[in-house]
Amino acid sequence: MLQFAPLLAMGTVGLAIGSANTIYQLPPLVLLYPACLYLIGLQAESSSVAFRRGLLTGTAAFTACLYWIAVPFAEQTAMPWYLAISGPVGVSFVMGLYGAAFSWLCYKFLRKASPLYVGITTFFVWGALELGRGVILSGFSWASLAAAFADWPAFVQPVSILGAEGYSALLAALACYVTAALITSSVKHSVTALVALALLFTSSYYSWMQPADATANIEIAMVQGNVDQGAKWDKRYMRGTVERYVTLSEQVLSHPVDLVIWPETSMPFYLQSSRKYLPMVRSLAIASKAPYLIGTPGFARGTEGRKYDIFNRAYLVDSEGLMLSWYDKMHLVPFGEYIPFYIPFADELLQGTGAFVPGTVYQPISVGNLAIGVLICYEATFTELAQASVENGANLLVNISNDAWFGKTAAPKQHLDMTILRAVEQGRYVARATNTGITAIIDPKGNITTKGKSFRADVIFGSVGTRTGFTFYHRFFSLIRALLIGGAIAVLAYSIYTNKKKEI
C-alpha cells in the first residue's frame, strides 16, 4: 500500500487538476481525492493519525484549488501578501476538517469492511459531509467532485436526480469502491465497480443527448463592462462607469431584445436615489423598449438600531423606466460583505467591508412572461437558493456577478462550474452576466450555449428559454437530503454495533 507522502501528493493533485484551474483540467482525476483519503484511513496507525493526515491532505488539496482567495486581500486592500495567504490556508484548513473526518471514519469502520460496504458507507457519509460543508460556518461548497465534471456536461446529468451533493457522494463511493476492490484483489467487485462506472456515465450521456425542451424563447443582452476593480468604487470614475454601460447598451437599439442584464454592482452607488444617473438609465430602458436588470447597492429604513440597512441588490427597471421590483442578496460573503464575528482591526484590514444586510425574500422578479430567480455572485454556489427561487415560480435563473476581485485566476471558471450545476439541478436556463467574465448562457443540460470573452468590454447577445417543469431533484429535494443524512447515521450506527459485537 502507498505511503502517506504519495497519497498526500496524489490527493492534492487530483483535486487541483480535476477541478477548474489555469493550467490543464482533467475531471476524472478528482476521484483521486476521496480514494486517497480512504487509503490514508486504512493505513493509519491510530484514529488520531488518520485524522491528522486527512486534515493535512484536505488542507493541501483545497489550498491548491483556492489559492485565489489571497488575491482580493492582497490587491484590493492594504493587506501584505504574507498575511493575505492566510486567507486560502485558513479556509482550506476548515475544508480539510471534512477530509479529516472522512479518513477518521474510514480508520474506525472500514478497515476490514467488504468493498461493497465501503462503497455504500462512503456514499452516505460523503453526502452528509458535503451537506455539512454547504451549511456549517455560513457554508462553502466550492470545489466539489460534481463541480469538477461540470466542464463535461455529458457526465453531469445525475445532478438533476441527486443534486450536487448526492452526485459528489456517488462519485466518491465509486472511487472508494474501486479502490477497495483493487486492495482486496476481488475480481468480482472490480468488475462490478467498473461496470457501475460505465453505466453511470453511459446513462448520463444518454440523458444529455435528450433535448432540453423550453418555451417562449427570450432574446437577452448581457453587458460586460470590464471595469477595473481598483477604480470601481472611486467617485472620480463613477460617471465613466455609467457612460460605459450606457454606451455599450445602446447596441440594443439596433438589436432589439426582451431583457438586458447588467452585472453585480455595475452601478457602484445608490441608483435608487441618484438624481444624476437614474434618469439616464430610465431613458435608456425606454429607448430600448426592454427591461433592465441592474446590479447596484440599495438601502432601506434601518432595523436593529441602524439608521439605514444596506443591501447588495438587483433592481428591475422596466421598459417604461419604472423601478418597481428588486431582489436583495440573501447569502452574503463572510469578511467580504459582512463580518460574522468580532475581529480586532477587521475594518482596517478589510477597508470598510462588512456593511451589507442580507435580504429575506426569495420571490422571483416578474416582468412579462418572465419570472426571474436572481442569484447574486456567491449565491450561485448554494443549491438551496436556486431551489427556493424555482419553488416560488422562477422559470429563468439569472446570476449576476463581479469576479474582477480574483483577476486571471481559476476562480471565475470554478464559479461558472458551480453555476452550471444549478442549471442542471433545477432544469432551468441560467443567464450569467459578469463584470469581467465569464459571461455566459447555460441551458438546462449544462451546455454553455453562448459565452463572452473575459476582460473585454462587450455586449453578449443570446437566447434563453422559460421552463416551468421540475426535475426529479427539485421534487424530492428535502427527501434526498434526509436520506443522505439518515443513511449516514444508519451505516455508522451499524458499524459501531458490529464492532462492539466483535469485541464481545
Angle of helix 47-66 versus helix 4-18 axis, rounded to 10: 30
d(CA 280, CA 290): 15
Find the distance separating the first CA and the last CA of the chain, reported in whole Å: 30
**Residues 418, 151: contact at Cβ < 8 Å?**
no
- Radius of gyration for the alpha carbons in the chain, expressed in angstroms and rounded: 24
Give how far the C-alpha of residue 266 lies from the chain's centroid of Cα atoms, to the nearest Å: 21
- The set of cell numbers assigned to 363 is 420571490
Distance, CA of 258 to CA of 420 (rounded, Å): 23
Angle (nearest 5°) at CA 42 between 37 and 45:
110
What residues are labeled active site?
264, 329, 377
Bridge partner list, 224? 458
Specify whether the CB–CB gap between 64 and 16 falls below 8 A: yes
Distance CA 385, CA 388 (A): 5
Furthest CA-CA distance within the chain: 82
Cell 486592500 belongs to 77
Please, are residues 431 and 463 in contact by the beta-carbon 8 Å criterion?
no
Please report the DSSP string for 210-224 in residue order.
Answer: S----EEEEEEEEEE
Contact 48, 61 (CB under 8 A): no
Residue 231 to residue 403: CA distance in whole angstroms: 15
CA-CA distance, 225 to 238, in Å (whole number)? 13
Contact 262, 223 (CB under 8 A): yes
Of 269, 270, 202, 282, give the one whose Cα is nearest residue 241: 269
Q: Residue 445 corresponds to which cell in the numbers above? A: 443540460
- CB atoms closer than 10 angstroms to residue 293: 27
Q: Count CB atoms within 10 A of the CB of residue 265.
A: 23
Range list of H helices, 184-297: 187-209, 229-232, 238-249, 278-288
Pairing of strands 365-367, 370-376: antiparallel
CA distances, 459 to each of 251, 316, 385, 445, 464 (Å): 8, 18, 27, 24, 16
**For 52, what's the count of Cα atoms within 13 Å in the CB-facing half-sphere?**
7
φ and ψ at residue 183, rounded to 5 degrees: -65, -40
